[in-house]
Amino acid sequence: MVKKKVRESLPSDTIVNIRLRLPIDLHAALTVAATTHERSLNSEILYRLNNTFNPEFLSWEAEQELKGRAEMKVLLDLLKDQKVQARVEQVVEELRAKEQRGKK
């Protein structure tokens, strides 16, 4: 299952651990949805519960999506610059070389 790379950490006293029993079909559907949305199963369940119980969540999520798109546009515009492209290629080659050294 694919998990988000960035996680908001919450103090342990704000989290409640529960054991949840689900019908196997529901579990499978949630797992597919989580994978599709590149979320953990826990994040997918929280997302869906927030959609149900927190009406402000949808507007917050839309705002985050717009910010993400704006950031992506800036990055894509930067990548049109030949100097930036050259530097990105250099960094990628350095990372590949480092990865190869680590495999040996």
The structure's pTM equals 0.46
| Cα separation, 49 vs 68, whole angstroms | 23
| Cα separation, 4 vs 35, whole angstroms | 10
| Cα separation, 65 vs 62, whole angstroms | 5
Class of domain 14-53: mainly alpha
Under the banding of pLDDT at 50, 70 and 90, the label for residue 5 is very low
pLDDT in tens, 33-59: 999 999 899 989 988 888 888 777 767
